[in-house]
Amino acid sequence: MSSVIESHHDDHHHGPAKGLMRWLLTTNHKDIGTLYLWFSFAMFLIGGAMAMVIRAELFQPGMQIVEPEFYNQMLTLHGLIMVFGAVMPAFVGLANWLVPMMVGAPDMALPRLNNLSFWLLPFAFGILLSSLFMEGGAPNFGWTFYAPLSTTYAPPSVTFFIFSVHIMGASSIMGSINVIVTIMNMRAPGMDLMKMPLFVWSWLITAYLLIAVMPVLAGAVTMMLMDIHFGTSFFNAAGGGDPVLFQHIFWFFGHPEVYILILPSFGVVSSIIPTFSRKPLFGYSSMVYATASIAFLSFIVWAHHMFTVGMPLGGELFFMFATMLIAVPTGVKVFNWVSTMWKGAMTFETPMLFAIGFIVMFTIGGFSGLMLAITPADFQYHDTYFVVAHFHYVLVPGSIFAIMAAVYYWLPKWTGHYYSEFLGKTHFWLSTIFVNLTFFPMHFVGLAGMPRRIPDYSLQFADYNAIASIGAFGFGLSQLIFVYILFKCLKSGEKATDQVWEGAEGLEWTLSSPPPYHSFSEPPVVK
């Protein structure tokens, strides 16, 4: 940063401040993107450590290592931290870094709001994790926190959990407003909506989803708070309420939420596949329409999580067919990615491997989702490990592999150094082998009837559980390679070119590697 100009006449420095205060007070989209990414990575490792506790307990039948109570706490926190602390902030970090660069903007539209929306998160998760040390322990009712488990029978720390969820929700809404305003108002001249990269499109749609559903979650947790402390009976049948009402409200948030976790992944993969296939993306406009269709349909399928609560038959039929309908736009996307690769001059660098791994394993997760969508079949699968297998196949090789692909793809651009390709590929292959070793056996034990969320199980499931636990520890440990790659890449490695990848297209590749502190002081003109 030798070109930093110190001017006492105005408060405007042309480079980052020095020291800790830079990070606390920064309004620069790259700094905030970096903060988000490091925060989510820390949460990923904490959530992963909790998953290790779960899998260590399940290595053998019988109660082995932890108390059932603590097991439930681990299970709850693992879910909450991975969804709200690892995957969502990682995508917001990517949005912060990339959206301004992709649309040719100098920064995000609301830089101070951006700073605030990040700094809410450490406090929210600090509150959530501190509940482990409270009397009665951390939340123990599963990440879906169904009433009355989370109201009548909850530990006292549930109030802190509610407060934490409120803060996370506020952060998400502010981040989303920022993304929408940036995309709508700050695009470079000549960049109309149908010229935007698909990553930007996917984030625009995700941001609208977030703004639509976060208040619903806030409503649900506020009603819980009232039930616990203020004598209301929203979810208490004895007082005229209904626990199923909680499920309806929760899943009206919860189902769009799972698409919030996956739509940015689709954007990432749609950026990576064309680069390494050296061809433009097949069917751009159909990809935009498919993303929008998925977002719309995500609002009318929520009750497929609740087939067994005794809904009217008409309701079950509607939700079954609406759920199956989501497979159509998702299938369009998979078809377009495969068609982009068809007869392309493909090379298999690490980002491409993760992107292809994503397509294959996400599709497996999609098919098990279609099985779960069939109402009479779901009566058998509901609350078994088959469901766990399904959603981990769409979230781990889906969201998390896409985030890893994105990091490998843009890291040389961010740091100005190439990462070690050998280590990257090692990380990919170990992760892929172990993730399948972990979650594939769960389909079998689920179909055989092993219930989820329990610390003990019958003897006939022992072998598959042992395999899954070995896979989980393998997957967890292989992430340490990723940690090493990241730290190594910050400091050393081959100098990256501005283009970075041979087939890469888009405005972010016109900037230097690493990009200047303020990206586009003069807006680029898009032809």
Q: Residues near 60 by Cβ (< 8 Å), separated by ≥ 6?
A: 462, 465, 466
The question of whether 22 is a catalytic residue gets the answer: no
Annotated catalytic residue within 71, 97, 201, 259: 259
119 is a catalytic site residue: no
Structural domain span for residue 193: 24-510
Q: How many domains does the chain have?
A: 1
Q: Are 178 and 110 in contact (CB under 8 A)?
A: yes
- Reported as a single tens digit per residue, the pLDDT across 426-480 is 999 999 999 999 999 999 999 999 999 999 999 999 999 999 999 999 999 999 9
Q: What is the pLDDT of residue 126?
A: 98
Task: Label residue 472 left, alpha or beta by phi (over 0 means left) and psi (-120 to 50 means alpha).
Answer: alpha
171 is known as an active-site residue: yes
Read off the pLDDT band of 4 (50, 70, 90).
very low
Would you say residue 7 lies in a domain? Answer: no
Inform me whether the pLDDT recorded for 520 exceeds 60: yes
Does 525 fall in a domain? no
**Residue 286 token pair:** 């159909």
Q: What is the pLDDT of residue 289?
A: 98
Is 6 within the bounds of a domain? no
Let me know if residue 37 belongs to a domain: yes
Question: Would you call 452 a catalytic residue per the annotation?
Answer: yes
Considering the candidates 38, 119, 143, 146, report the single residue annotated as catalytic: 143
Determine which one of 172, 265, 420, 431 is catalytic: 172
Q: Which of 29, 40, 57, 107 is catalytic?
A: 107
CATH (domain of 249): 1.20.210.10
Task: Report residue 354 as tokens.
Answer: 């993760």
Burial class (CB in 10 A: 0-12, 13-18, 19+), 142: middle
Residue 501 located in a structural domain: yes
30 is catalytic: no
Q: Report yes or no: 466 and 59 within 8 Å, Cβ to Cβ.
A: yes
Given the residues 30, 187, 305, 413, the one annotated as active site: 305
User: Is position 5 within any domain?
Assistant: no
- In this predicted structure, the answer to whether residue 515 has a pLDDT above a threshold of 70 is yes
9 included as an active-site residue: no
- Residue 164 lies inside a defined structural domain of this protein: yes
Which one is catalytic: 452, 453, 488, 518?
452
Catalytic residue among 117, 206, 270, 469: 270
257 included as an active-site residue:
yes
Could you tell me the CA-to-CA distances from 452 to 64, 449, 456 in Å, in that order?
17, 9, 10
Q: Which of 117, 150, 293, 330 is catalytic?
A: 330
Q: How many CA atoms lie within 13 A of 429 on its CB side?
A: 7
- Asked if 333 is an active-site residue, the reply is yes
526 located within any domain: no
**Threshold 0.85, pTM exceeds:** yes
Q: Which of 187, 255, 427, 443 is catalytic?
A: 255
Residue 107 designated active-site: yes
Report pLDDT for 441: 98
The reported pLDDT for the residue numbered 13 is 53
